[in-house]
Structure 1
Amino acid sequence: MPSVSRRYPAGGSRFERPSARVDQELRAPVVLMVSGGADSTALLVLAATSSLDIDDGRGSARIARERLHVLHVNHQLRGIDAEEDEEFVRELADRYGIPCTVCRADVAALAAQTDGNVENAGRELRYREANRLANALSAEFGTPRSAARILTAHTADDRAETFFMNAIRGTGASGLSSIPRRRNRIVRPLLDRTHEDLCDLLRMRGIVWREDQTNSDTRYLRSFVRHEVMPRVKAKNPRVTASLANTCDILSEEDAYLTAVSSRTLRELTRRSSEGVLTLDAARLAACEVAIARRAVRQAILLVCPDARLEARHVAGVLEVVSAGAGSVTIPMGVDARVEHGLLTLRARGAAPVPESGWLDVPGRMALPDGRALAARLLPAPEATDVPALARSHGLEWEDQSVLLDAQAAGVDASLGGRLWVDVPHPGDVMCPLGMHGQSKKLSDLMGEAHVPVAERAAQPVVHTSPTGSVVWVAGLRADERMRCTPATRQLLELRILPA
């Protein structure tokens, strides 16, 4: 576990809070992520002495000193150099009267517990600790967490390097948009400045900084891009950093728009959602534009398993089985994708099992998890009989444990028989309850009015015409108005719950 220590400047253990009349946005904490390198040192100096745009609606403006708080993460990877980095940041923060929190953690050991990637482990640790500190300070300041800001010292050079790094690895528009100016509470106010600009600023002010020798090790991809790729590209176009910044801004804006469209599409495709499991309408997904389908699948996988390390080939594999209409694929980091019965189910390994669903043959029966069974059969409508009245009396006699419906309306062929899909309620499912003359009602509301215990609702059998079709019967509760018997009904569909 990381160890965390916090130090306040001399003269008090905490800052006085601003007046409660000041807008919350202007009182919320601002966490500065400072490593001790030139860029983050410049970030601290500029935040303490100059104006920065932290995307709070004020544009470039001074940040109240009492809002600032420095975070330094000691990765314990570089021995005495790491210790000296930590002491340098502490002293710099103290010089400007800013409290400093230091997190110490064995990043190499953390990486060994996952995929062995030290860079990823360090980055995840830094952002995790920054968010934890921002939350703690928000509680201390009495401001909403969303109003807090976490500032990083990424520059235009970092953005250009990340563009090439992602291109080398293989990526989509999101990766090529590189480093965004803001993501939730994380803001990067130095993206329009170059590393050399910031070094010049520090030299003019007589401020030194720390150099990390691993930054020159070209075994790391970023160092390779910085020292091998960028010099050659700049030889062809000295303004490549500014050009890529404009390109990244355009890609970022277009990516945000497509992400909003795909998020809306994903909500429309979702048939069932529970912890670690997401079920989508595979047929409708297959009919989507591929750009939207690809993004929707990516978002769905990350909803099921936020830690999944997705590559384009993983999403493509899911779309292949969706296009085929059946099959399964496994995604690294523990997500299984399966297409059957017109549905795509994404399941994180270890997710709690969900009630089973499947086909009910007509005629036939299907066992239910509680020991009961659903039975279905076809009956000819008696001649010279008031069929609607017969159906009503049947329901009363059997206390809604058995219903008579119009077989044709339920999509069951009188001569060939057929099958119906039995499932459980999905969020947002609606039906037109019998007797409500076509008015729709959510299944959740129907079960609530019938006093079905909340703990039992997830296992309530619901009969559909198909996996994505209309509701026929909420077993034991209510049939759908569209399936009711009429004077023209010639074939009856009997659905019955058989006791255990």
Structure 2
Amino acid sequence: MRLVMGPEAFLERVRKTVEEHRLLERGDRVLVALSGGVDSVVLLHVLLRLAPRYSLGVEAAHFHHGLRGDEADRDQAFVEHLCREWGVHLEVGRGEVAELARERGRGVEEAAREARYAFLRRVMEGRGLSCLAVAHTLSDAVETFFMRLIKGASPYGLRGILPRKGEVVRPLIDVTREEVEEYARIHGLSYVEDSTNRDLARFRNWVRWRLLPLLKEQNPKVERAVGRFMEILREEDSLLRERARSIGLSLSREREGEVELSRSSLAELPKGMRRRVVLELIHSLGGDARWTHLETLGYLVEGEGEARVHLPGGLMVVREGENLRFTRELDKEPEDVEVLVPGPGIYSLGEYLFHFQEIREGGEKVVVSPWSLLIDRDKVDFPMIIRYKRPGDVIYLEKVGHKKLQDLFVDAKVPRRERGRTPLLVDSQGRILWIPGLRWDARVLAGGGTKRHLLVAVRRGACGGEKNSSD
């Protein structure tokens, strides 16, 4: 293999990315999502080399998806051996993703991502870590660019994979996969390969193995060229979003929790800015919109008579006279019902089924998913309560403190119609311990010193009613 980039030049480029995008601060405790593939192994190696410079604490986590059989078991064994050899603390989780996908009506890849990130965030909270480092490279970003371009995306969607999004950082986002593999070769790093990455039935693999090689025949540096284009899009998008927000504020007015926007004022704007103003307003209200939604909203601006458009996130836009009214879709709230949980057993609230099971130290293996919680039994007491949200409810979050559930639901873009129907697990002191599928109070999670475990697992799709059983 030809030399793509020397190891010191590679390290310097990653360091430049870290500092340019402020991905890491001195003293950060970083969790590396370690699959065992070449990208994640190189990421861990690089962060360990950068650790003295930034006084970093570096740990790793690996999630077994319950897919790919023996190959997935091999991956887990590999990362366990690697972390022992490198002296890195490792947390391992497992989920039955195929079953989770069936239960939630999701695709396997989407369910796998949800389960993996839920596990990683749980590790972060439990270990008191400050950020999650994932191993996306420039090559991944370019593949995503072409996937979105082919399917049809706006400039907003073509910005690529961002270097940072909240607590998730991507230190390798400015280096290519070829450069990563060369770094691994020079340093003699071992890694595992996922055989499904060669399956051309998967769109990303087709882009990687069929489309990009053709483009490289015309321009061997096509990844760098597209990378520069995405960077320009991000910079210009930032300016455009700021301008659109400013215009939106000047044209809109808030009334009784709703926002009204003048149709005539919108119509005077250039079509591109009109779309941007509407999109930024939708995002500010916790909603979302795709290109087809924005095109339909354009007809609301120009047409006559009453009409409405329903958007993802439980938002609705209504044309009323000279205004567009942005409002939440209101459904009838469920009755204020409490289900008493006196001890281990099976209980239901609405369409949710809760299973409480005590597990002794050294007991059966626990399957971790966004819909299960492993609690330190010595930190909670029965009876507990399962109920729906009430006004003023708060939950304690690690490094955040108490946060209103209303704000949490808005931040997580939970549709309004779902918020009142989301069950809560509350302890005997009235503390909200868990919002299944979303967040939990990390103070009661089981840890390394836990002697008695309480596993709470939730399934959606139970029969209605509040019947419970401790059989």
TM-score (norm 1): 0.56
1:62 aligns with 53
2:293 aligns with 314
Secondary structure at 1:329 match in 2: strand
- Check 1:350–1:130 CA distance in 2 against 1; reply closer, same or farther (3 A cut): farther
Aligned mate of 2:323, from 337, 343, 356 = 343
Aligned mate of 1:102, from 92, 99, 108 = 92
**Structure 2 residue 223 is matched with structure 1 residue 241:** yes
Whole-Å separation in 2 of the counterparts to 1:339 and 1:293: 16
Contact 1:337 1:346 survives alignment (8 Å): yes
Q: Larger relative contact order (C-alpha < 8 A, sep ≥ 6)?
A: 2
Q: Residue type matched to 2:32 in 1?
A: L
Q: Residue deviations 1:427-466, cap 9 Å, x none? A: xxxxxxxxxxxxxxxxxxxxxxxxxxxxxxxxxxxxxxxx
- Check 1:282–1:80 CA distance in 2 against 1; reply closer, same or farther (3 A cut): farther
Contact 1:76 1:105 survives alignment (8 Å): yes
1:287 aligns with 268
Whole-Å separation in 1 of the counterparts to 2:126 and 2:269: 43
Counterparts of 1:223-302 in structure 2 under 5 Å? 223-272=205-254, 278-302=259-283
- Check 1:259–1:112 CA distance in 2 against 1; reply closer, same or farther (3 A cut): farther
Secondary structure at 1:280 match in 2: strand
- Check 1:299–1:109 CA distance in 2 against 1; reply closer, same or farther (3 A cut): farther
- Check 1:77–1:293 CA distance in 2 against 1; reply closer, same or farther (3 A cut): farther
Q: Residue deviations 1:335-378, cap 9 Å, x none? A: 4321113332334444679xxxxxxxxxxxxxxxxxxxxxxxxx
Counterparts of 1:53-452 in structure 2 under 5 Å? 62-65=53-56, 67-114=57-104, 116-137=106-127, 140=128, 148-272=130-254, 278-306=259-287, 308=288, 310-326=289-305, 327-331=307-311, 334-350=314-330
Contact 2:259 2:325 survives alignment (8 Å): yes
Deviation for aligned residue 1:104: 2.0
- Check 1:113–1:172 CA distance in 2 against 1; reply closer, same or farther (3 A cut): farther
Whole-Å separation in 2 of the counterparts to 1:113 and 1:305: 26
Contact 1:47 1:63 survives alignment (8 Å): no
Deviation for aligned residue 1:132: 4.2
Q: Residue type matched to 1:80 in 2?
A: D
Whole-Å separation in 2 of the counterparts to 1:297 and 1:136: 39
Deviation for aligned residue 1:288: 3.1
Q: Residue type matched to 1:255 in 2?
A: D
1:362 aligns with none
Whole-Å separation in 1 of the counterparts to 2:151 and 2:143: 12
2:21 aligns with none
Whole-Å separation in 1 of the counterparts to 2:274 and 2:112: 33
Whole-Å separation in 2 of the counterparts to 1:114 and 1:199: 37
Whole-Å separation in 2 of the counterparts to 1:94 and 1:169: 43
Deviation for aligned residue 1:47: 0.8
Whole-Å separation in 1 of the counterparts to 2:78 and 2:99: 25
- 266-275 vs 313-322, greater mean Cα deviation: 266-275
Whole-Å separation in 1 of the counterparts to 2:282 and 2:331: 13
Deviation for aligned residue 1:225: 0.5
Secondary structure at 1:77 match in 2: coil
| Matched pairs, number | 309
Deviation for aligned residue 1:151: 1.5
Whole-Å separation in 1 of the counterparts to 2:266 and 2:152: 24
TM-score (norm 2): 0.59
Whole-Å separation in 1 of the counterparts to 2:61 and 2:175: 22
Secondary structure at 1:255 match in 2: helix
Q: In angstroms, what is the RMSD of aligned CA positions?
A: 2.8
Contact 1:181 1:187 survives alignment (8 Å): yes
Whole-Å separation in 1 of the counterparts to 2:259 and 2:62: 38
Whole-Å separation in 2 of the counterparts to 1:351 and 1:260: 33
Whole-Å separation in 2 of the counterparts to 1:304 and 1:228: 41
Contact 2:28 2:55 survives alignment (8 Å): no
Structure 1 or 2, whichever has the larger Rg, is 1
- Check 1:42–1:300 CA distance in 2 against 1; reply closer, same or farther (3 A cut): same
- Check 1:288–1:94 CA distance in 2 against 1; reply closer, same or farther (3 A cut): farther
Secondary structure at 1:41 match in 2: helix
User: Identity over aligned residues, as a percent?
Assistant: 30
Secondary structure at 1:208 match in 2: coil
Segments of 5+ residues of structure 1 without an aligned counterpart are: 1-23, 52-60, 142-147, 354-500
Contact 2:245 2:281 survives alignment (8 Å): no
Deviation for aligned residue 1:210: 1.2
Contact 1:155 1:191 survives alignment (8 Å): yes
Deviation for aligned residue 1:102: 2.5
Deviation for aligned residue 1:96: 2.2
Contact 1:31 1:150 survives alignment (8 Å): yes
Whole-Å separation in 2 of the counterparts to 1:128 and 1:286: 43
- Check 1:338–1:178 CA distance in 2 against 1; reply closer, same or farther (3 A cut): same
Q: Residue deviations 1:42-81, cap 9 Å, x none? A: 1011111247xxxxxxxxx83435x212122222221222
Q: Residue type matched to 1:312 in 2?
A: W
